[in-house]
Amino acid sequence: MTPRRSTQERTTRETRVTVALDLDGEGRATVATGIGFLDHMLETLARFARFDLELTCSGDLRVDDHHSAEDCALALGAALDSALGERRGIRRFGTAHAPLDEALARAVVDVSSRPWPQITLGLVRERLGEIATENLTHFLGSFAMAARLTVHVDVLRGTNDHHRCEAAFKALALALRDALTRDGEAVPSTKGVL
């Protein structure tokens, strides 16, 4: 089997992000973004998608968390897109539900090369740790765009924002794991390309 790995670097005047991604890993993650809660979510994503992930970010956190969160998402999405290559021999579609105590999230993924993020987390707190909750939604949307995925993530219920967000990342991870499962040799499209 062809390895599905990629390394990416994204350098701007605001951030420097490096990513090494193996889609057929064991769920190991080494993440250092400077934003503790984002590290936790990326480690969660890698663990449940069974990706091996190394990601570091040096960003302008003195300004705020936006640039670091966005550029981590763009670099990770680019790594996933690159690792997939022609997107041949995958299931393409994935869906999952994930609970965390009182919270329940649903994620549906199409590895379509037609990016569309539809993200509804319903977070009410302004921040989770050092990250603005709006940037968690923005992270998921930016990741979907850079990875060229259709991604629907909905938190269906829950009262604790930490639980709501973590359930969403777990559901996305499980849906990605399903969609990226090797399933033959063909391109899973009536068009013949993705």
Q: pLDDT tens across 90-144, in order?
A: 999 999 999 999 999 999 999 999 999 999 999 999 999 999 999 999 999 999 9
pLDDT at 187: 81
Phi, psi of 183 (to 5 degrees): -150, 65
Instruction: Yes or no: say if 175 and 108 are a contact pair by the CB < 8 Å rule.
Output: yes
pTM score above 0.95: yes
* Pick among 3.40.50.300, 3.30.230.40, 3.40.50.10470, 2.30.180.10: CATH of 5-179: 3.30.230.40
pLDDT tens readout for residues 44-84: 999 999 999 999 999 999 999 999 999 999 999 999 999 99
pLDDT at 169: 99
pLDDT tens readout for residues 20-51: 999 999 999 999 999 999 999 999 999 999 99
pLDDT at 184: 83
**Residues 63-100, buried b or exposed e (16+ Cβ, 10 A)?**
eebbbbbbbbbbbbbbbbbbbbeebbbbbbebebebeb
Mean pLDDT of the chain: 97
For residue 193, pLDDT beyond 90 = no
For residue 9, pLDDT beyond 90 = yes
Domain residue limits, the chain: 5-179
From the list 3, 6, 191, 175, the residue with the least C-alpha distance to 91 is 175
Helical packing angle, 133-147 and 36-49, nearest 10°: 40
- Distance between CA atoms of residues 56 and 30, nearest Å: 8
For residue 192, pLDDT beyond 90 = no
